[in-house]
Structure 1
Amino acid sequence: MANFTPDFTWLKKRPLCFLGFGFGSGLAPIAPGTFGTLPALPIAFFLYLIGISGWWLAVLSMVLFIWGIKICNHTERELGIQDYGGIVWDEIVAMLLVLAFMPFRWDWWLAAFVLFRLFDAIKPWPIKWLDARIHGGFGIMLDDTVAALFTILILKITAWLII
């Protein structure tokens, strides 16, 4: 399927792939990872409004990580393409994890978004190492989760230094 390009019609027939593609956001023709991260923002906003934040959001992120292994495995299988760029469930889940540890303020969320996307795109060690060696749904989910942990660490250090 080297010449296959998924579209919204293809996703509508495959509910797990629809999730894998971040409700369709992974279909973006450029920067699908960045567009795929965006759904995490309104999802987190809604969850914060109904009282799911902090450690509860982190726990939810871990549950979504485990489901994400299945979602991403299934989506890869359906596509016939390994680690396809449009599979963005991992970005959504990782961003939710980052936001679980950020103040509920637009400036922190913007910084978290930008820094997470930077780590996910540049893939410093060990993210690049993990990405190259661990495949399938677990590999897809793992490298973004490590990028999320880097983001949390850097922003927490920054907060500690400026407060």
Structure 2
Amino acid sequence: MNRLARLIATVGGVGYLRPAPGTWGSLAALPLGWLFHVIGGFPLMLVAVAASFLKGLWATRVMTRDSADHDPSEIVIDEVAGQLTALLPLSYAAWSMELDILRMWPGWIAAFLLFRLFDITKPWLVGWADRRNDAMGVMLDDMIAGAFAAIGVIVLAALWHGGIAS
């Protein structure tokens, strides 16, 4: 098996942590998201999401080729891509308003929890993507879960800043 594919798919071995490798992968994405944002703001976060998706798709295809298991638990690059997607609203807000992104810590917690909720329960389109049973489905279900989590972060921020905390 291709060593680079394994390194990417397992996010440097994070996917071998037990229990709950998907949660470990999501947690690993948080400092990566912070680093990408600090280095290049929202534009670099967008690039990071796209790059993690594309590299993850390639690595997942390589790792699952000729395998009956289309989604081995050690593949967690999909969680990284999805979690970075969930962080996009925070990165955009911090970048556009020139805020320290760590001041938005409640949003980080919400993004993490919502992403894990949608990734685990697989509602609607998340489940549809997961049922593809191929490398694209492995990556796509987490991207959709990340998009749902991002929408949830926006809704919670609007409720908090527009009404609850006022």
Same fold (TM over 0.5): yes
Q: Comparing both structures, which one devotes a greater share of its residues to helix?
A: 2
Residue in structure 2 matched with residue 115 of structure 1 by the alignment: 114
Contact 1:26 1:88 (C-alpha < 8 Å) held by counterparts: yes
Contact 1:55 1:100 (C-alpha < 8 Å) held by counterparts: no
Does the C-alpha gap of structure 1 residues 78 and 48 become closer, same or farther in structure 2, counting only changes over 3 Å?
farther
1:139 is aligned, of 133, 137, 140, to 137
TM-score (norm 1): 0.83
Give how far 1:24 is off. Answer: 1.0
Aligned partner of 1:74: which letter?
A: V
How many equivalent residue pairs? 150
**Percent of aligned positions with the same letter in both sequences?**
33
Residue in structure 2 matched with residue 6 of structure 1 by the alignment: none
User: In structure 2, what is the Cα distance between the partners aligned to 1:158 and 1:145?
Assistant: 20
Residue in structure 2 matched with residue 82 of structure 1 by the alignment: 70
Secondary structure of the structure 1 residue equivalent to 2:123: coil
Does the C-alpha gap of structure 1 residues 17 and 78 become closer, same or farther in structure 2, counting only changes over 3 Å?
farther
User: In structure 1, what is the Cα distance between the partners aligned to 2:136 and 2:117?
Assistant: 21
Contact 2:22 2:73 (C-alpha < 8 Å) held by counterparts: yes
Secondary structure of the structure 2 residue equivalent to 1:84: coil
Give how far 1:34 is off. Answer: 0.2
1:41-62 deviations in Å (ceiling 9; x for gaps) = 1111212221x23243123312
Aligned partner of 1:112: which letter?
A: A
Aligned partner of 2:31: which letter?
A: P
**Unmatched 5+ stretches in structure 2:** 95-100, 162-166
TM-score (norm 2): 0.81
Residue in structure 2 matched with residue 41 of structure 1 by the alignment: 30
Residue in structure 1 matched with residue 123 of structure 2 by the alignment: 124
